[in-house]
Structure 1
Amino acid sequence: MSFGLDKRLSAQAIATGTIIVSVVVLFLKLGAWGLTGSVALFSDAMESLVNVSAAVLAWFAVRYAQRPADDGHNFGHHKAEYFSAVIEGIMIIVAALLIVDQAISALVSGADAALTPLALVVNALALLVNLLWAQVLMRSGRRLSSPAFTAGGRHLMSDVWTSAGVMVGLVLVLLTGWDVLDPVLALLVAINILREGLQVVSESVDGLMDKAVTTEEQETIQTAILGAGGGALQIHGLKTRRAGKAMFVEFHMVVDGAMSVAEAHEICDRLEDEIEAALPGVHVTIHVEPDHKLEDSGIEPLPPEAN
């Protein structure tokens, strides 16, 4: 469905493309709303207005996050994307509240929408464009480990389902003449947008709070330690965190107190190489300790002859 765009485009090109797509979709939806005055189509357009703002934020966040580490930011600038995603989530929530206000006003005043097939066709075109680009963003987010792209893709997919629901509901309005369905649809859209906004904020805050890597990634790290840690007595204090596309791993390695620094360093090199081979781009920090630092529990690497 994405025509391979997610594999061919760079992060910068995807961020720029998202701005262009979001602006095109916004104008299509504003056109559909202008043709009808429908509150449901207004709610759909409001979500696209958020998409434009979020796309601009993501463009700046991706550029900033790609900056190398410097004296003021020793671990890089990867978390910039989380700030973008948090702001996007807040904007989604604000858009939902604005839609609720418009929908309630329409219910109270009994305003009717002048629905036309042309307006629905224009909105359907916007839906298809969003569907295509949402797939590009989500697949690119996974490939590049980008929380900004992933959040943007999920928001666009939410927008797609919203537009689909609005389209079905407005077709019913045309067929039945039940104009009250228009503001009711807008309220349902607002609830869906609010749910998505809260989820985006929650996941982005997890990233800012140094949430550990996934269970699968932790298992991969432990497997690498078991296989490459021969010569070490124990690995304990394993900690992980993710910051955008970067992953950080640190742990304590206990060795025989009589082991030379060169021998201990050789084990560290093996461990780092094995973990980085399993999880490309990971940053590994190992603290070497003598055998009196053994703990009651930890990972016991396989002896060299067992590998």
Structure 2
Amino acid sequence: MLKRELRVILISLVVSLILTAVKFIAYGMTHSVAILSDALESIINVVAGAFASYSIYLAGKPKDENHPYGHGKVEFFSIGFEGAMIFFAGVLILVKAVQYFIFPKELHKMESGIWLLGATTVANLLLGIYLKQSGKKLNSITIAGNGQHIMTDVYSSAGLIVALLIIQFTGWNWLDPAVSVIMGLLILVNGYKLMRRSISGLMDETDMQVVDRVITILSAHRRENWIDVHNMRIQQYGNNYHIDCHITLPYYLELNDAHDEMKRVEVLVNKEFENSEVEFFIHMDPCIPSCCHYCLKAECPVRSHAFTGEITWSRDNVLPNRKHGV
């Protein structure tokens, strides 16, 4: 899978390099600060693609003594770096726009510039769709983040083309730096979002969508010996996950039987998480009398209370560090 990820990101890098060159050609022809803004953002695509290539290579290295959970965290550094670069590009674009407001330049060959920008926008659209689909299929946050950035570039370029067409037919040249200001602000927001996601991953912020997915899998295949699941914590390392949790089992199970139950959990979740490795660290809790009223085990030899109803597993009772009903 590592080779596939590298191939995808290298395609992105080469295409972004070509499109960036075309945009700078369009700027040289037109002297439009808005087109320059788009070209500056595209430089970030190239730099981010190069950094992403290295991060994917590093994330694919096996675990070792110094990195017992693998090297996947580097992907969060990758999207954080990309976000910081995008943010810097937004600031640079705003500075350039203000300069053009104060010292306006005459625009040239707008029609040719619009055609070139239109061609790069279509190419970026196809690249963005390819990256987002590949990121989802390969479960790579680096590729998905790169695709998100490319799609943002597509939207801003499309808006820019509309503005340039208005300038072409009306002669309102003041729109050129005005549009550049809007683009700069949008780019700042996008850069902030990527940096925010990077910090969340590095700080091991819980991804509730992954929590819900794990809970759904365990609920759908619930066994009578799995009395409850609690104190669940999920950490992401690249496209792999480490899950800590407590599972309450009948206290009289032999060690081999209890181990087999935990192995079933690990195999089950890994089977459902395609293209990812899920490592479990499960603490086994013995049941207590207060568990009897929701225990599903029909033939329990030590039941002290009648069964009153099944407890549905959810974030509310799976994440806290306490047995259900206690």
Q: Is the shorter-chain TM-score for this pair beyond 0.5, marking a shared fold?
A: yes
Alignment partner of 2:278 out of 275, 282, 301: 282
Q: Is the 8 A contact 1:229 1:271 kept in 2?
A: no
Aligned to 2:129: 135
In 2, Cα distance between the equivalents of 1:304 and 1:278?
28
Summarize the Cα distance change of 1:271–1:188 in structure 2 as closer, same or farther, 3 Å threshold.
Answer: same
Aligned residues: 294
Matched, 1:253 2:247: yes
State, as a whole percentage, how many aligned pairs show the same letter.
28
Cα deviation code 1:275-304 (max 9, x no counterpart): 222224322221123335x8x89xx67437
Q: Please, which runs of 5 or more residues in structure 2 have no aligned partner?
A: 300-326
The superposition leaves residues 218-265 of structure 1 with CA deviations (integer Å, 9 ceiling, x where unpaired) of 334234434344324432212222222112222112333332111111
Q: Which amino acid counterpart does residue 5 of structure 2 have in structure 1?
A: A
Q: Distance in 1 between matches of 2:177 and 2:6?
A: 39
Counterpart in 2 of 1:193? 187
Distance 1:258 1:142, change over 3 A: same
Q: How does 1:152-301 map to 2 (within 5 A)?
A: 152-215=146-209, 217-226=210-219, 227-280=221-274, 281-291=277-287
Q: Give the alignment's TM-score, normalised by structure 1.
A: 0.89
2:71 counterpart residue number: 77
The residue type paired with residue 27 of structure 2 is W
Q: SS at 1:10's partner residue? A: helix
CA distance in 1, matches of 2:85, 2:140: 19
CA distance in 1, matches of 2:187, 2:13: 20
Distance apart, 1:43 and its partner CA: 0.3
- State the one-letter code of the partner of 1:123: L
Poorly superposed stretches of 4+, deviation over 6 Å: none
Distance 1:28 1:235, change over 3 A: same
TM-score, normalised on structure 2?
A: 0.84
In structure 2, the CA distance between the partners of 1:224 and 1:137, relative to structure 1 (3 Å rule), is closer
2:305 paired residue number: none
Q: 1:139 to 1:224 in 2, by over 3 A?
A: closer
Cα deviation 1:110-165 (Å, max 9, x = unaligned) = 32222431121111111111111111111111111211111111111111111111
Could you say if the C-alpha distance between residues 301 and 57 of structure 1 is closer, same or farther in structure 2, counting changes exceeding 3 Å?
Answer: farther
The 1-side partners of 2:146 and 2:132 are apart by: 8
RMSD of aligned Cα (Å): 2.2
For structure 1, the 5+ residue unaligned runs are: 1-6
Which deviates further from its counterpart, 97-106 or 262-271?
262-271
Q: 1:146 aligns with which of 134, 140, 149?
A: 140
